[in-house]
């Protein structure tokens, strides 16, 4: 133990002793002792130096032993915290129960069953899906079954080694301030976890299995969003070993599209064997490499790739009608073509009004706002990152039919209010119809995007995600954000910083109060009078990353390719300067 004490921080060593000696952690001792015998001090430090960060929607991280990992202990604490949260609202809400779902990741079913056992032990009925389901279906199920809450065991688009606990409140959306703080406090306060035997609770009806009775209304509701009758597009689809087989695929097939599934990624698999470097997030083009290769081989018009819990969707399109080559579209570009098509079709069908609403997060391209303004509809475009804020806007609408479309740059899209989170199946259906509509005119999504640029402006949106793992990574992310606040740049890439927008409340910006990745922890440097050239820095609250969002735009006066080159070049310089600034901050702070 002396070597451990010397090699680990006091916090990590104290937590390690606790997990080795206290009876509630006995199931983890074998794995912990293996790490000790292998002298894996880096893993031990990261797994034990702190408790896994509790976000507004739950917890997410690497599966393993220790308080900073996802395991039966930390999942149990989250479930007990939610049970306590529900009980605080009284017997009426408690009686409504909780719907629990899970995706394909490691330990997902045991985690889901544990949650049900915790709810049952706390006198809260649990409904458990009979096999893996997409995250948006859990959001749908909350409102369909009229439960108090919903839980999905998922790490969404995090790397394959991760898992987590995400929860929805009774409106099918995630909790937002001030309820989010109340939930987080409840989880932090848990000192014992109540459980009951799963099989016994199932026999007594305290836990009830659900399946088709939720699936069919959910899939039918999505199909009801169809905008056109054409089905000419040939589509390649990859569920990335995940839940897309239960929402994206059945919707596309039922609607009569020709769909070819990537065979190597067709079956749910907790090992995600084809994940490049463990990545399963279709924001990374390499994650879509198998789907893109198949798309080019069979001359597909559209390639779609859902993430493991099938709320996000990656997209690639044929470049030209007469070529097999496909081009990857980023999350902003996908949002742009979807917004334009949805508004265009609804206008043709006389379904738009002055009260129609398009919603996007602040980091998402302003081109969507421009398009919405062009159709004379309302737009909300200043929301913090997180679809929960979009769900909150929808929930407050007097007439839910006013909601038309929502987007966030991380490949999340929504139409209609029966789901209160992003949904890959809704996005896939709309993209398939748009691709068919364009194919019938001899055009592609790439052509359509260029037409939009010509009409409005050419926008270049870049997302650079810098990974910073472990304790050192967490500390470095905090150093960068604190430095950007205390010593902000005066100019970036030759452009004067005209304005700084900090979304973190003032009292939380001070070093002694600062929590890296907290809600609102983002800072934007405005580089143009119209505020459309800008760069935002934001540490993720759910992944060990700091993200830089760069946007530059320009009206197309003549040749589009010339405008693209000019805009792309300056956007790239802004990106490079932000990365150089990051390195200078880390060099200076780590030297002291």
Chain centroid to Cα 49, Å, comes to: 26
Q: Residue 397: its pLDDT value, please?
A: 97
Q: What is the DSSP string of 270-319?
A: TT-TT-GGG---TTSGGGGHHHHHHHHHTT-SEEEEE-TTSSBEEEEEES
Distance CA 245, CA 128 (A): 19
Q: Hey, how many other C-beta atoms are within 10 angstroms of the C-beta on 64?
A: 18
Q: Could you give phi then psi for residue 64, rounded to 5 degrees?
A: 165, -175
- Catalytic site positions: 156
- The pLDDT-based confidence of 381 (bands split at 50, 70, 90) is very high
pLDDT in tens, 460-479: 999 999 999 988 999 999 99
Instruction: Work out the end-to-end distance of the chain between its first and last CA atoms, rounded to an integer number of angstroms.
Output: 31
Q: Residue 81: its pLDDT value, please?
A: 96
pLDDT at 206 over 80: yes
Residues forming beta bridges with residue 218, ordered by sequence position: none
pLDDT at 180 over 90: no
Contact (Cβ atoms closer than 8 angstroms) between residue 491 and residue 526? no
pLDDT in tens, 133-174: 999 999 999 999 999 999 999 999 999 999 999 999 999 999
Contact (Cβ atoms closer than 8 angstroms) between residue 276 and residue 289? yes
Quote the mean pLDDT of the chain: 96
Contact (Cβ atoms closer than 8 angstroms) between residue 137 and residue 35? no
Q: Residue 591: its pLDDT value, please?
A: 67
Of 150, 56, 155, 54, nearest to 97 by C-alpha is 150
pLDDT in tens, 309-321: 999 999 999 999 9
pLDDT at 543 over 90: no
Alpha carbon separation from 50 to 53, 89, 94, 474, 519 (Å, rounded): 8, 30, 32, 11, 19
Distance CA 252, CA 241 (A): 18
Q: Residue 452: its pLDDT value, please?
A: 98
pLDDT in tens, 352-380: 999 999 999 999 999 999 999 999 999 99
Alpha carbon separation from 32 to 42, 46, 66, 73, 77 (Å, rounded): 13, 13, 8, 14, 20
- 95 burial type by CB count under 10 A (0-12 exposed, 13-18 middle, 19+ buried): exposed
- The pLDDT-based confidence of 109 (bands split at 50, 70, 90) is very high
pLDDT in tens, 62-94: 999 999 999 999 999 999 999 999 999 999 999
Mean pLDDT of 289-297: 98
Token pair of 189, please? 């306060």
pLDDT at 57 over 80: no
pTM of the model: 0.96
Q: Residue 592: its pLDDT value, please?
A: 58
> Residue 495: CB partners within 8 Å, gap ≥ 6?
527, 528, 533, 570, 574
pLDDT in tens, 8-54: 999 999 999 999 999 999 999 999 999 999 999 999 999 999 999 88
pLDDT in tens, 227-274: 999 999 999 999 999 999 999 999 999 999 999 999 999 999 999 999
CA torsion sign for 82, 87, 90, 94 is positive
């Amino acid at each position: 133990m002396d070597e451990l004490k010397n090699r680990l921080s006091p916090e990590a060593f104290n937590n390690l002793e606790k997990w080795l000696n206290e009876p509630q952690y006995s199931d983890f001792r074998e794995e912990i002792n293996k790490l000790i015998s292998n002298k894996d001090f880096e893993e031990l430090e990261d797994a034990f130096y702190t408790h896994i960060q509790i976000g507004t929607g739950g917890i997410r991280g690497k599966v393993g032993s220790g308080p900073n990992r996802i395991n039966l202990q930390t999942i149990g604490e989250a479930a007990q915290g939610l049970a306590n949260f529900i009980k605080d609202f009284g017997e009426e809400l408690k009686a409504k129960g909780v719907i629990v779902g899970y995706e394909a990741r490691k330990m997902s079913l045991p985690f889901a069953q544990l949650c049900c056992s915790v709810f049952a032990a706390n006198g809260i009925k649990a409904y458990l899906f009979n096999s893996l389901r997409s995250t948006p279906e859990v959001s749908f199920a909350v409102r369909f079954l009229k439960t108090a809450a919903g839980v999905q065991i998922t790490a969404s688009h995090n790397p394959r080694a991760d898992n987590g606990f995400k929860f929805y409140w009774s409106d099918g959306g995630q909790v937002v301030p001030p309820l989010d703080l109340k939930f987080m406090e409840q989880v932090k306060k848990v000192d014992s976890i109540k459980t009951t035997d799963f099989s016994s609770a199932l026999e007594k009806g305290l836990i009830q299995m659900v399946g088709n009775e939720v699936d069919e209304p959910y899939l039918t509701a999505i199909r009801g969003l169809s905008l056109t009758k054409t089905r000419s597009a040939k589509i390649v689809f990859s569920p990335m070993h995940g839940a897309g087989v239960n929402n994206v695929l059945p919707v596309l097939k039922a609607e009569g599209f020709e769909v070819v599934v990537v065979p190597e990624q067709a079956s749910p698999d907790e090992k995600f064997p084809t994940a490049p470097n463990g990545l399963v997030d279709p924001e990374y083009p390499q994650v879509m490499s198998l789907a893109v290769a198949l798309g080019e081989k069979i001359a597909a018009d559209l390639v779609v790739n859902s993430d493991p819990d099938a709320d996000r969707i990656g997209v690639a399109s044929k470049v030209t009608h007469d070529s097999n080559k496909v081009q990857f579209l980023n999350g902003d570009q996908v949002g742009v073509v979807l917004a334009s098509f949805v508004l265009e079709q609804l206008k043709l069908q006389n379904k738009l009004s002055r009260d129609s609403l398009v919603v996007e997060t602040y980091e998402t391209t302003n081109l969507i706002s421009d398009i919405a303004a062009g159709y004379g509809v309302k737009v909300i475009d200043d929301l913090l990152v997180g679809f929960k804020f979009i769900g909150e806007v929808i929930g407050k609408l007097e007439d839910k039919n006013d909601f038309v479309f929502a987007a966030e740059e991380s490949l999340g899209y929504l139409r209609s209010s029966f789901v209160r989170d992003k949904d890959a199946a809704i996005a896939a259906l709309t993209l398939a119809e748009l691709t068919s509509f364009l194919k019938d005119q001899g055009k592609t999504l790439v052509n359509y995007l260029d037409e939009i640029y010509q009409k409005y402006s050419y926008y270049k949106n870049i997302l650079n995600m810098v990974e910073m793992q472990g304790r050192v990574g967490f500390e470095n992310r905090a150093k960068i954000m604190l430095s950007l606040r205390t010593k902000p740049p005066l100019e970036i890439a030759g452009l004067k910083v005209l304005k700084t927008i900090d979304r973190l409340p003032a009292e939380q910006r001070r070093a002694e109060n600062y929590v890296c990745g907290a809600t609102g922890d983002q800072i934007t440097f405005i580089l143009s009078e119209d505020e459309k050239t800008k760069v935002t820095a934001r540490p993720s609250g759910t992944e060990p990353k700091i993200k830089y969002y760069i946007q530059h735009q320009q009206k197309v006066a003549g040749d589009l390719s010339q405008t693209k080159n000019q805009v792309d070049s300056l956007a790239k310089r802004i990106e490079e300067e932000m990365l150089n600034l990051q390195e200078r901050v880390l060099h200076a702070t780590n030297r002291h």
